[in-house]
Amino acid sequence: MLLSVEDLTIEAGGRRPILREVSLSVGKGEVVGLVGESGSGKSTIARAVLRLLPQGAGVSGRVLVSGDDVLSMSPAALRDLRAAQVSMIYQDPRSSLNPVRRIGDFLTERMVLTLGRSKAEARTRALELLAAVGLRDPERCVRQYPHELSGGMLQRVVIAAALAADPALLLADEATSALDVTTQAETLALLRRIQAERELGMLFITHDLHLAAAYCDRVHVLYAGAVVESRPAKELFADPRHPYTAGLLACTPELGDPRPIRPIPGRPPSLDDAFAGCPFAPRCPHATGDCDAWQPRPLTVAGGSTACRLVEA
């Protein structure tokens, strides 16, 4: 396995952990989706893969990238991992580029500093990469500053930078959420093409369950820092087993559907909400009294697992 997260728990001072016993894995050439509301811990997982943990966090469990534990490796090994094996694509490309440096510098600098390539080699490679992500006129682009490019173009630059080191694993953290819908479609297609060409493993984080279901091979649904359902995307979409997944799918409005929008009642849990039993029980339409006392654990269902006691009944 390229990436395997085992029983990862991260605590940072709230009344409940940010992440509770999260396990997931990403294989070579596989796209794994991670879906959840804001605050559910999606980004924390991606950041933990690069050991960017919240200040003063208590961590247990393991995060293995190609068999090496990220959480316990030496600083030198960690830098090597960040430089060459894992790349991250962020939600907001504009703020993830240094505003005072040219695009070309952004791309070549890491190749020169962390991968030890020569300047000329890095420049040629940067031009190749920009062409590969579909930017017209890369020669012009390397001389431009971030404010001269549009959001979609910048996201392509960020993707190009992520590919600079030929990583094995891509972490796409809401990579297309800040883009408008047409640019989003182009960027998604581009990511998919690159992922397939290079057989990359990809952890695709989004709040859009429909997008994840259409885009990924497998999907993990996250609620209050715990995985509530892990299934192959198509099965999850066709037959959600956890009430939260079902609620997420049902609350998307559809054209031509005269019924009013059906949101999940209640509000997403904050770090100050502690739960004795199932964290979704207060908002769950199917909850019974026993749910408040049932400690969620993954139960096997067709194709994967879900953390709801009602599937047994």
Which parts of this chain interact with another protein (CB under 8 A)? 50, 52, 55, 79-84, 86-88, 90, 92, 95-101, 109-110, 113-114, 158, 161, 165
Residue 96 or residue 183: which is nearer to another protein going by CB? Answer: 96
Least distance (Å) between residue 76 CB and another protein: 10
Q: Least distance from C-beta 278 to another protein, angstroms?
A: 34
Helices 119-132, 151-163: crossing angle, 10 deg rounding: 130
What is the CB neighbour count within 10 angstroms for residue 204? Answer: 29
Minimum distance of another protein from residue 106's CB (angstroms)? 9
Which residue number, 114 or 183, has a Cβ lying nearer to another protein?
Answer: 114
CB of 91 to another protein, least distance (A): 8
| CA–CA gap between residue 35 and residue 30 (Å, rounded) | 16
- Rounded CA gap, 89 and 105, in Å? 18
Q: Which of 76, 71, 96, 78 is CA-nearest to residue 162?
A: 96
- Residue 80: CB atoms within 10 A of its CB come to 14
Judged by CB, which is closer to another protein: 35, or 83? 83
CA atoms within 13 A on the CB side of 171: 21
User: The dihedral of CA 127, 133, 138, 142: what is its sign?
Assistant: negative
- DSSP-derived 3-state class of residue 50: coil
- Helical segments of the chain, H only: 42-49, 75-80, 103-114, 119-132, 138-141, 151-163, 181-198, 209-215, 233-238, 243-250
- Minimum Å gap between C-beta 41 and another protein is 18
Closer residue to another protein (CB): 67 or 99 = 99
Q: Which is nearer to another protein, 82 or 156 (CB)?
A: 82
Q: CB of residue 133 vs another protein: minimum separation in angstroms?
A: 16
Which is nearer to another protein, 22 or 81 (by Cβ)? 81
**What SS3 class is residue 206?**
strand
User: In the complex with another protein, which residue's Cβ is closer, 84 or 132?
Assistant: 84
Least distance (Å) from another protein to the CB of residue 258?
Answer: 42
Which residues does 10 contact at the CB level (< 8 Å), separation at least 6? 17, 18, 19, 41, 44, 48, 53, 54, 57, 58, 59
Distance of CA 36 to the CA centre of its chain: 10
